[in-house]
């Protein structure tokens, strides 16, 4: 796991990773030979040199605390994760404003929470699954639409606090999947009797039981990040961005 290093005197941080010594490759677009130049780096040692003689702390990054405002594969975004030492808890903010910038980090005394802003059904996935499961005796478009309308109406009345979260993978860290509670499943089953004929009901019942726990009937909850920053004690240094290149640039300006 990546290691967090905090300079207590500067209140800046560095994330030690296996890639700290990877060389940096550059090329001059105006060079007809298109020669690629390699520059050796050691970001970790550079951070230690800049903060030589300072008090260093090693807070632990808390497992499974990563959260971000955008999809995992998006390179330009703001992300947060939690860290703690023996006496304090922190939020680490990781960000950059363009793909050309190195990642920057800020240590925030405080906490973040996730606020649910809506619960959705998986409409497109449900339609595809209904058509697949009912190939021999297809449901009409009106029946499919009625099922979706019923499902949405039930979900609109659900309290997310009564739901069980499941470890379903999502491409977005702010999307979390939940199982329907038993009362909602019962209500869905009972009202499906008004959608399909009696002879088709056993099949729709099987569909619901088959997909309610780990399939298309899972509910997708969308969240947003609420970050709260604790006021710093009087005289405490302000937080600074801690990428090595930014820190080195500040040192050159002072010199």
Task: State how beta strands 12-16 and 3-7 pair.
Answer: antiparallel
Domain ranges of the chain: 3-113+227-254, 123-217
Query: d(Cα 190, Cα 104) in Å, to the nearest integer?
Result: 54
The residues pairing with 132 across neighbouring beta strands, listed in sequence order, are none
Contact 110, 227 (CB under 8 A): yes
**Per-residue pLDDT tens listing for the chain (255 residues):** 578 898 989 888 888 887 776 776 777 666 666 677 777 777 888 888 999 999 999 889 888 888 898 888 898 998 998 988 888 888 888 898 888 787 888 888 778 888 999 999 999 999 999 999 999 999 999 999 999 999 999 999 999 988 999 876 788 889 999 999 999 999 999 999 999 999 999 999 999 999 999 899 999 999 998 877 766 654 444 433 333 344 444 444 434
| The two structure tokens encoding residue 168 | 């379903």
């Amino acid at each position: 796991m990546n290691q967090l290093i905090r300079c207590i005197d500067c209140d800046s941080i560095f994330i030690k990773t296996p890639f700290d010594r990877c060389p940096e490759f550059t090329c001059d677009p105006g060079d007809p030979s298109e020669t690629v130049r390699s520059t050796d780096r050691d970001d970790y040692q550079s951070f230690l040199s800049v903060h030589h003689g300072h008090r260093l702390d090693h807070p632990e990054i808390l497992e499974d605390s990563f959260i971000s405002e955008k999809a995992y594969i998006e390179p330009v975004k703001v992300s947060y994760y939690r860290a703690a030492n023996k006496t304090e808890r922190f939020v680490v903010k990781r960000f950059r404003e363009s793909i050309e910038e190195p990642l920057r980090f800020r240590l925030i005394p405080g906490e973040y929470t996730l606020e649910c802003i809506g619960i959705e059904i998986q409409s497109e996935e449900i339609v595809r699954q209904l058509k697949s499961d009912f190939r021999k005796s297809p449901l009409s478009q009106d029946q499919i639409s009625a099922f979706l309308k019923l499902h949405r109406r039930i979900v609109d009345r659900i309290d997310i606090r009564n739901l069980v979260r499941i470890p379903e993978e999502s491409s977005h860290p702010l999307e979390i999947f939940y199982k329907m509670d038993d009362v909602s499943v019962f209500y869905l089953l009972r009202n499906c009797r008004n959608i399909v004929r009696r002879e088709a009901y056993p099949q729709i019942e099987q569909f619901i039981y088959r997909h309610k726990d780990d399939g298309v009937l899972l509910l997708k909850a969308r969240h947003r990040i609420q970050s709260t920053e604790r006021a710093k004690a009087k005289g405490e240094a302000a937080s600074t961005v801690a990428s090595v290149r930014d820190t080195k640039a500040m040192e050159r300006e002072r010199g």
